[in-house]
Amino acid sequence: MKQLNVQCAITVNTRIVKPFMSLSPNAVNVPLGNGQHIQMVHSMDDVVYCRKAQNAAFVKSEGILVVWDDEALHLISRAVEIEHELMKLVWSSPVTGAEAAAAAGIPPKPGH
């Protein structure tokens, strides 16, 4: 985080972060309902190229979300806010029956 020139950072590795790791390899960000866009980078080395003002990035190779801030007192609340926006995005997305079954570990029906 030193190269990004921020005071503090935290990694987030929760169930709500996991679905975003399987997005298209060409995806460059995830737009949230509050107007924020969470960048997607391949590795921790790429975080240095992120837009500092967005305060977060998905790191695909690590399967984590990195959240940063210049104020340590704001860091946890920022991470919680981003995770809340991600949760709203997941719950508002239409899911087919097959996708829901796969997510639950239920094998597909024969012939489908």
Kindly state the tokens that stand for 41.
Answer: 């980078």
Confidence of residue 76 (pLDDT cuts 50, 70, 90): very high
Closest CA to 58 of 33, 90, 87, 82: 82
Residue 108 has pLDDT above 70, yes or no: no
Q: What is the pTM of this model?
A: 0.77
For residues 74 and 15, the model is more confident at 74
Give residue limits of the domains in the chain: 8-93
Q: How far apart are CA 112 and CA 108, in angstroms?
A: 7
Closest CA to 33 of 72, 87, 80: 87
Contact 67, 78 (CB under 8 A): yes
Residue 2 has pLDDT above 80, yes or no: no
Q: How far apart are CA 56 and CA 79, in angstroms?
A: 8
Q: How far apart are CA 36 and CA 81, in angstroms?
A: 11
Q: How far apart are CA 54 and CA 46, in angstroms?
A: 15
Residues 71-85, mean pLDDT to the nearest whole number: 94
Residues 32-45: tens digit of each pLDDT: 888 899 999 999 99
